[in-house]
Amino acid sequence: MRAIAIGCVLGTAGTAVAQTSTRIPVPPEGEAAFAKRDYGAAAQAIIPVFEKCVQDQPQGDACADLAAASAVLVATAGNAKVENIILRALDYVDTHVGRDSTDALGILGALTSYYDRLLDMKKFEPVAERRLALARKLSGPTSRTAVIAAVSLCIAQWNLGKGQAAVDMLTPLMGKLPETTRDEQVLAGRVYDCAGTAYYTMDKHREAEAPFRKAVALYEKAAGEADELTLGAMASLANTLRRLGREGEARAVAVRVSGLAKSGSPALKRVDWAGAAAADPVEAARVELATTEKTYGAKSPLTDMAAAHYGIALIDAGKLTEAQPYLARLEAAAANPANPASVRIKLMLGHITLLITQDQGRFDRAVPIIERLVALAKQSGAGSEKMLIDFQMYAGTSLLLSGKAARAYPFLSDAGDRLLARIASYRDFDAAAQKETREYAPIFKFKVTTAWVLARQR
C-alpha cells in the first residue's frame, strides 16, 4: 500500500529521511484487502496495528509506514467520522519523522485528497498550502510533486472564490513544464485545465479559452480524444465558448463530446444543453438527486444543489406543493456558515432560481435573498463580477418598481460602476463588449430614474 500511496495516490516521490528504528511493515492482509477495494477489511487489518504500534513504541519512527497506510485508507474510503485517524497519522509523522520529510509530504497528499472528497474546502486549503510549500522545498517548484500540489491548491482556491490567487500561482508554470511523455502531458494539461477553471469561475471567459484549448490538446495527445480528461476539458471549452456568445463553435465542441463520451460520462451532463431535452425532466432530476445523495451523502452541498434542480423541475411541471420542501432545504443550507462562501452563493442562486421560477419571473420574494447574496459575495470575494452586475441590476430594478428607490440606488450604482470597468477591459471593437453594453443598458436607465425619484422625494 505504501508504494501505491506514495507513487500513485499521493503523487509524491523520493527517499524517506534516515530512519531511527526499523519500521513495522503494513500487514499483508491489509495490503491485499486494499487492493481488492475491501476497505472495511483493510481498516480492521491496518488501523489497530498502527494504534498499538504508537502505544508500544513511543520513540523512533517504527510506525511511520503504518501511519502512511492508515492515511491512504482514510483518504480513499473514510467518511467525516474517521478524520481523527488521518490527523493522528500526520501528527505521528510530524513528531517522529519530521515536518519536512517525504513521509509528511505523502500524508499531506492523502489529507488533501480526503478533504477534497468530502468537499471541505476550508480545511483543504491550509493543508494544500503546506503541501505545496513542502514539495517546493524538497524538490523544487517545477518538480512533479510540487506541480501536483499546486494543482491541488488551485482546486481549493477556485472553490473558495480565490480564482485570481490560483491563476497567479499557476501562471509561472505555464510553458515551463516538460510535455514529452504521457505523464508529463497529463500533468501539464492539469495545470492549464485548473487555470482555465479559475478564470471561468471569475467570469473571465476570454482568458479561460486559451488554457482550456491547451489542456484539450495535451490530454488528447496523452490519452486520446475519448479519455475522460480530454472530454472534461472539451466540455469546459464548450461552456466557455457559449458564455462568449459563440454558439456555433460551442455547439460543435459539445456535439463532439456527445459523440465520443460513453453513457454515464460526467462530461455529457455538462453539455446537455446541446442535446434534446429529457423526455421526463422531473424523473431525470429525481434520479440525479438520488445518485448525488448516494455518492456524496445527504448533507453534502452538492446534494443540496441537486435538490434545487429537482425543485425547479417540479415547479416547471406545475407541482408547486411538492417543490416547497426543496425551498426550505436550500434556504437552510445557504444560511449555514459552515459551508464555504462559494458554495453558499451557489445555493442562494439555486434558491433565487426556484423562487422566480415559481413566481413566473418576478423578483419580489427573491430580493431579500439577492441582498444577502450580494453582501456575502462582496464580503468574501467569492462572487464573480458578472454575477454581481446581474443580481444588483435585478434587485435594484425590482426595488425601484416596488417604490423602494432608496434601497435600489446603491445596487444600480455599484452595478453600473462594475459594468463600465468590465467593458473597459475588453479589446477595441470586441463583439462581446458590444453585446454586454446592449444587454446591461437598462442599468443606467433605471439608475437615472431612481436618482430622479429620490430627488423628488427630497
Query: How far, in Å, CA of 352 to CA of 452, rounded?
Result: 29
pLDDT digit of tens for each residue in the chain (458 aa)? Answer: 433 342 233 333 334 444 456 899 999 999 999 999 999 999 999 999 999 999 999 999 999 999 999 999 999 998 888 999 999 999 999 999 999 999 999 999 999 999 988 888 889 999 999 999 999 999 999 999 999 999 999 999 988 878 889 999 999 999 999 999 999 999 999 999 999 999 988 878 889 999 999 999 999 999 999 999 999 999 999 999 998 888 899 999 999 999 999 998 999 989 988 876 556 888 888 988 888 888 777 877 778 878 877 887 888 788 888 888 887 888 888 888 877 777 788 788 878 887 887 777 677 788 899 999 999 888 887 777 888 888 899 888 888 888 888 988 999 999 889 888 887 777 666 676 677 777 888 888 788 888 877 777 76
CA distance 221 to 230: 9
Cα–Cα dist 303/307, whole Å: 6
Assign 257 to helix, strand or coil.
helix
Closest CA to 400 of 442, 350, 440: 442
Of 367, 344, 371, give the one whose Cα is nearest residue 356: 367
Q: Cell numbers 491496518 correspond to what residue?
A: 46
Alpha-carbon distance of 398 to 392, in angstroms, equals 10
Q: Which of 34, 40, 48, 45 has the alpha carbon at shortest distance from 5?
A: 34
Residues 325/314, Cβ–Cβ less than 8 Å: no
**pLDDT value for 12:** 39
- Exposure string for 194-228, b = 16+ CB within 10 A, e = fewer: bbbbbbbbbbbbbbbbebbbbbbbbbbebbeeeee
Burial 83-117 (b: 16+ CB within 10 A, else e): bebbebbbebbbebbeeebbbbbbbbbbbbbbbbe
CA-nearest of 190, 185, 184 to 170 is 190
Q: Cβ atoms within 10 A of the Cβ of 286, count?
A: 16
Q: Which of 158, 153, 11, 23 is nearest to 75 (CA)?
A: 11
For residue 428, the model assigns a pLDDT of: 63
pLDDT tens-place string over residues 285-333: 898 888 888 877 787 777 887 887 788 788 878 888 888 888 788 888 8
pLDDT tens-digit series, residues 333-355: 888 887 777 778 878 887 888 78
